[in-house]
Chain A
């Protein structure tokens, strides 16, 4: 009995020690200690066009717990520290102004890391400047603690914003990676655009409301409630029922409007089932707010949601078929618009938002001083 107790005690000690060890290792590995860097130097190549100055003044990179310095041409600064150097300069390409950011730092084993990316110069992009700078610094710190590869693999596995990924090797048979290129989207690649979808569904219901009031004579028969809070409360309390509206209104009109809700969500990046939920949301909005004087309709909610989803998916596939099978022309575009207007609207909005940028990550051979010198220049 005593032996048994001793063995169990030893067992628990082993397990406890292992747990403590694992926790300590993880805690050490994940500590955001700046990986031994002594600071971050921000360098604007043109003082009159201060980009990193704003970053410095707004303490955007202070989250890493490292001293942040700001400099510009003509101002003396210490570049002998083992740190991260970020430069920003204005670029003109094809008549488009952009800001080129470059991060340089030394890694372990005398290797150097360079991250280069460009963003369109636009006041609306301040948020994008901030997140891309924070991601780049986080990547540099992670790369120094572990390696560039594990940082990138973690990023790739966890991010839903990487549209494209390529790796480059120093030659055909070598086992050395010289760099990576990432196309990063400003919005999730596979995720949906919630607020845009909700805005479009609301707009569709507003158009429906205008149509409803243009045909007011045929709708007054169904009015039961006053447009007051009490009327609305009564409507909610009464709940939905099967309605006696026209057959074609019920199973053609409502299903078509459901398909518009659905295709709005679908063309904003949502899946079949997610888009069906938006069709349900659009239907509820219409039944409770669009037709606020009428009793909510059970059949409308079922058929608008699921009928809309199935018709919407069919129209989505038909419009995709047209897009893929015929050369671009006015006729093709008109046909796609007739089949799936919400897709065309969202394609236009996507094209206006210019929503991806390219990040180039270079892993440079041992030449720390050269890199620092290059950055200084």
Chain B
């Protein structure tokens, strides 16, 4: 009995190698499956993500914006003619075509020969593109000033800043409830420079998705989208004061920035949520780690005669013309942000950023930096908003049991223009 079963299974396997669905009269579902499998193999090579669901084939990709293809096949037999109707949606472009076969010619081989080329050409045909909508971009101009102990500035020592904020998120216009996102399917890039010769300040912050998922809930009461996944990122902050009357306390070195950092987030987990049903509600969270470079209060405000005693972990001490200090570290950055629209015109944006930098060199040193920001904004027109931001910066530096603390306030007044 056992041998019969083995022989039977072997013959079954052998027959399956010859693919019995080639037999005339195979049912439509298996024909579609073969057709869709062939189509699937071709699209996957071109970075499409696909799903096959009986008579329907879905594919999407984020190349040059968002592209979606849905193919639906239905069949009908009248007398000895079988008609296969193909409905194709490529983004918003819709096409339909029928293929009629005699019963005797309605074989999988014929159907693939005739219909597969029709499906393949879809990805090359013009479609209603949505690439511009993949981007959300705003530019801003503002005035920015750091102060020490006081919230309101005592001296007019700020700088004009020019910046922009770009988010590339092609998945925000896809209506599929769940999508797998790949490398580069989400990117945000925020940067500004100060246009002032006395105080120069440069910053940028990049979030780049490596892999993740998008979930969308779209109904009358809930219109939300959430993206979560593994990101990579880069953040840079460096101010340079270039005048004598610098407002910070104990300004021993007028050219000496108290704080500067650069973080390469080699890996970070991020969660982004946005709900647009009624008033905007948005939330984001990020936790990551990676190599970094940062300054320390323990190498700031050191009298020139004591500089030689600085810890060797500090690079580019205040020797010669190198007016800065920093040490190499590993950092753990955390970020939580919340945006709420109170009315159609007023939005409040809050953010807490926290960084801990551990020295990777010989000495026992760390720095803890916290930045809290509250930014109410008023929408003047459809695309123009006025924003006021107050930030509180607090830093704690430790080097060989020497602890130092400092904190600053910062005010930013800015006008934001939504380009798209």
Does residue A356 face the partner (Cβ distance < 8 Å to B)?
Answer: no
Q: Which residues of A contact B120 (CB under 8 A)?
A: 156, 165, 167
A180-B117 in contact given A14-B11, A310-B232, A325-B132 (Cβ < 8 Å): yes
A15-B137 in contact given A173-B99, A251-B262 (Cβ < 8 Å): no
Do B233 and A310 have beta carbons less than 8 Å apart?
yes
Q: Which residues of A contact B105 (CB under 8 A)?
A: 175
**Bound form: Cα–Cα A156–B189 in Å:** 37
Do B184 and A272 have beta carbons less than 8 Å apart?
yes
**Bound form: Cα–Cα A141–B203 in Å:** 62
Q: Which residues of A contact B101 (CB under 8 A)?
A: 175
Nearest neighbor of B315 in chain A, beta-carbon distance = A244
Told that A303-B264, A310-B233 touch, could you supply 13 new A-B pairs with CB distance under 8 A?
A7-B6, A11-B6, A173-B99, A246-B316, A247-B293, A250-B293, A252-B238, A299-B328, A303-B262, A311-B234, A317-B168, A324-B131, A324-B132
Do B137 and A321 have beta carbons less than 8 Å apart?
yes
Q: Shortest CB–CB separation between residue A192 and chain B, in angstroms?
A: 15
Do A164 and B124 have beta carbons less than 8 Å apart?
yes
Does residue B113 face the partner (Cβ distance < 8 Å to A)?
Answer: yes
| Max chain A C-beta neighbours (<10 A), residue from B105, B117, B125, B315 | B117
Contact mask for chain B residues 124-139; partner A; CB cutoff 8 A; 1 contact, 0 none: 1100000110010100
Do A273 and B183 have beta carbons less than 8 Å apart?
yes
Does residue A166 face the partner (Cβ distance < 8 Å to B)?
Answer: yes
The 18 listed contacts between A and B (C-beta, < 8 Å) are A14-B14, A18-B14, A166-B125, A167-B118, A172-B98, A177-B114, A242-B315, A245-B316, A247-B262, A248-B238, A251-B293, A272-B184, A303-B262, A306-B264, A311-B204, A313-B187, A314-B208, A325-B420
Do A325 and B419 have beta carbons less than 8 Å apart?
yes
Q: Which residues of B contact A167 (CB under 8 A)?
A: 117-118, 120-121
- Which secondary structure characterizes the binding site on chain A? helix
Do B114 and A175 have beta carbons less than 8 Å apart?
yes
**Bound form: Cα–Cα A180–B381 in Å:** 52
Q: Which residues of B contact A364 (CB under 8 A)?
A: none
Nearest neighbor of B123 in chain A, beta-carbon distance = A165
Does residue A111 face the partner (Cβ distance < 8 Å to B)?
Answer: no
Q: Which residues of A contact B361 (CB under 8 A)?
A: 242
| Max chain B C-beta neighbours (<10 A), residue from A149, A172, A310 | A310
A residues 78-97 touching B (CB-CB < 8 Å): none
**Bound form: Cα–Cα A163–B105 in Å:** 32
Q: Which residues of A contact B316 (CB under 8 A)?
A: 244-247
